[in-house]
């Protein structure tokens, strides 16, 4: 296999970690096992970006993986850069023809890395590829999605997408109507696992650092497709994704629960995304959520069922968080100072 002089490796695997030491160890072990299955001549490197973890993650990488057969390079960040900006740091140092983004709580199934490489080699028009995400027990996770719009988000917020998952109309957000066993061209895929063509990234640009967490991959896929590249889902590339480990490890909270902080991050990114790609529709995105939250609160607050009354309190909190996100982003125009 001939590799262009500009690429010292065929694959650069990039893992961003924030306080997921034990998961990170398991993740890296799975990556090393997969690197051993790559075709002859396909070399690899692994870059780990530690987002100022406080659980010894970086020291563990230094201690346990410094002598690995595949080079493991540790990048220590003094602050939590978030997902996109941390990957950007690795992008600028990665020397692989293909860049594989892998969450620290994601684990490659046997042959996944080799198959993903083969797909990218065979499809030069594809800039980003993704695989089938599953839970520990094999349950399917959303793996290929439709770009956000007021209509798509309304299907999710009203629960219609969950109620009618097999409908091509109502199941559009996560393509739940589709056969998971069939490859497909899609709008975007979660960043838990992505394989990205380095040349395409050089042309289109890195992750937008305005997004601290959420919507980074949506924005990048949108820009890739606008530039004429394709985004593909491949069901034979299987990855177990635990999901949410870093979010559960957050300790410095502005609110009483980690969940509220993570929801605030999502709301900020939603507004930033809508303002960037849909302009004044950022107002509609906020208004849609507020209407749904307030209607739900009014419906539940006078119920005799304690669970429904608690739900009304949660919906009031969500309304408050959304208004806060609007203020902090100036209606999606500015990204708050990081770390969020």
Helix axis angle, 150-157 to 281-300, nearest 10°? 10
Looking at the DSSP assignment, which residues form a beta bridge with residue 73? Answer: 47
CA-to-CA distance for 36 and 33, rounded, in angstroms? 5
Q: What tokens appear for 314 in the block?
A: 């949660």
Q: Which pLDDT score, from 0 to 100, does residue 257 have?
A: 66
Q: Which pLDDT score, from 0 to 100, does residue 243 have?
A: 79
DSSP three-state, residue 297: helix
Q: Which pLDDT score, from 0 to 100, does residue 256 have?
A: 52
76, containing H or E segment: strand 72-77
CATH class of the region 9-143+180-246: alpha beta
Cβ-Cβ contacts under 8 Å for 245 (sequence gap 6 or more): 20, 23, 104, 105
Instruction: Give residue for tokens 């969950």.
Output: 162
Strand locations in 188-323 (E)? 193-197, 230-241
Q: Which pLDDT score, from 0 to 100, does residue 327 have?
A: 98
Q: Which pLDDT score, from 0 to 100, does residue 64 have?
A: 97
- Phi/psi at 257 (5° precision): -130, 145
Please state the pTM of the whole predicted model. Answer: 0.92
Taking 70 as the pLDDT cut, the residues of the chain under it are: 1-5, 244-257
Q: Is the dihedral of CA 309, 252, 335, 18 positive or negative?
A: negative
């Amino acid at each position: 296999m001939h590799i262009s002089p500009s690429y010292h490796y065929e694959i650069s695997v990039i893992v961003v970690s924030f306080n997921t030491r034990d998961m990170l160890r398991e993740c890296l072990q799975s990556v090393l096992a997969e690197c051993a299955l790559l075709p002859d001549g396909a070399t690899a490197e692994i870059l780990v970006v530690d987002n100022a973890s406080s659980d010894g993650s970086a020291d563990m990488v230094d201690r346990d993986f410094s002598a690995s057969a595949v080079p493991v390079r540790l990048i220590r960040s003094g602050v939590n850069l978030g997902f996109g900006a941390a990957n950007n740091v690795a992008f600028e140092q990665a020397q692989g023809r293909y860049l594989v983004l892998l969450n620290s709580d994601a684990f490659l199934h046997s042959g996944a890395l080799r198959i993903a490489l083969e797909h990218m080699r065979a499809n030069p028009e594809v800039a980003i590829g993704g695989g089938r995400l599953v839970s520990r027990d094999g349950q399917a996770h959303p793996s290929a999605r439709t770009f956000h719009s007021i209509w798509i988000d309304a299907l999710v917020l009203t629960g219609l997408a969950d109620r009618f998952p097999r409908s091509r109309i109502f199941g559009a957000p996560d393509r739940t109507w589709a056969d998971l066993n069939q490859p497909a061209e899609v709008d975007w895929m979660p960043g838990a696992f992505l394989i990205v063509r380095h040349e395409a990234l050089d042309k289109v640009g890195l992750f937008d650092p305005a997004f601290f967490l959420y919507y980074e991959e949506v924005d990048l896929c949108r820009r890739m497709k606008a530039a004429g590249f394709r985004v593909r889902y491949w069901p034979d590339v299987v990855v177990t994704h635990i999901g949410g480990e870093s979010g559960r490890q957050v300790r410095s909270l502005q609110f009483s629960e980690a969940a509220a902080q993570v929801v605030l991050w999502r709301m900020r990114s939603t507004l930033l995304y809508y303002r960037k790609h849909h302009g004044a529709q950022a107002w509609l995105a906020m208004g849609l959520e507020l209407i749904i939250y307030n209607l739900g609160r009014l419906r539940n607050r006078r119920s005799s069922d304690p669970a429904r009354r608690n739900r009304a309190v949660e919906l009031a909190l969500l309304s408050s968080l959304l208004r806060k996100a609007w203020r902090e982003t100036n209606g999606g125009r500015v990204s708050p100072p990081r770390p969020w």
